[in-house]
A = this chain, B = another copy of it.
Amino acid sequence: MALIHAPVYNKNGQIVAASITNLDLHDIARACATYGIRRYYIVHPAETQRLLAERIMSFWQEGFGSTYNPDRKEAFAHVRLASSLEEVTREIALETGVAPLTVGTDARRYPRTVNYAALRRKLEQETGAYVLIFGTGWGLLKEEMAKMDFILEPLYGPSEYNHLSVRSAVSIILDRLRGRQNVK
């Protein structure tokens, strides 16, 4: 999974870099650990932002937090930092020997989409690497979405309101793709 902080849209449709936030690290790392995601990439082009993320995580991995809350240490063990989506796909390709298929997510509707059940079957039945991509702020650029191998449908409940936080959207999508429905 990759969480892209730049380039993304802001609320006025301008292209910006969003800041890394503490809760995006914590909540999403915990969701990734729950749903068996191999690696959670935090993507930001600015080195100072990546250093901030590293400092937060080292508290929970090596500092006081690692003994205070070992569950958090386990969650952060799967987190990596990267400067761009290209760096992410290159690293996955180098390690697995195959170029990963990219899966874009967005609250906007795109004409070419794959539904959750179909992608879930692919993940379960096919070999190869996939990278699930989320944008912070007001989402990923249209040009970037156009390059994706797959685009997931936006999330909707019974209403037309679909302004979920990226933390909520990641959690729901991971559950749709990887959740166990009956626990007993």
Binding site for B on A (CB under 8 A): 11, 23, 26-27, 30-31, 33-36, 69, 71-72, 74-75, 109, 113, 115-117, 153-159, 161-165, 167-169, 171-172, 174-176, 178-184
Given the known inter-chain contacts A158-B180, A178-B158, please indicate yes or no for A165 contacting B30, CB distance below 8 A.
Answer: yes
| CA of A167 to CA of B23, assembled, Å | 10
14 residue pairs bridging A and B, Cβ less than 8 Å apart: A23-B165, A27-B165, A33-B159, A36-B157, A36-B158, A74-B161, A116-B181, A153-B183, A156-B179, A156-B183, A157-B175, A158-B180, A169-B171, A171-B172
Q: Which of B23, B153, B159, B183 contacts A109 (CB 8 A)?
A: B183
| CA of A60 to CA of B69, assembled, Å | 33
Residues of B within 8 A of A183 (CB): 109, 113, 153-154, 156
- A115 B161 Cβ-Cβ under 8 A: no
Residues of B within 8 A of A153 (CB): 182-184
Q: Which of B158, B167, B169, B184 contacts A35 (CB 8 A)?
A: B158
Smallest beta-carbon distance A108→chain B, Å: 11
Given the known inter-chain contacts A164-B171, A172-B175, A181-B116, please indicate yes or no for A157 contacting B30, CB distance below 8 A.
Answer: no
Residues of B within 8 A of A117 (CB): 181
Closest-by-CB residue of B relative to A35 is B157
- B23 A162 Cβ-Cβ under 8 A: no
Smallest beta-carbon distance A30→chain B, Å: 6
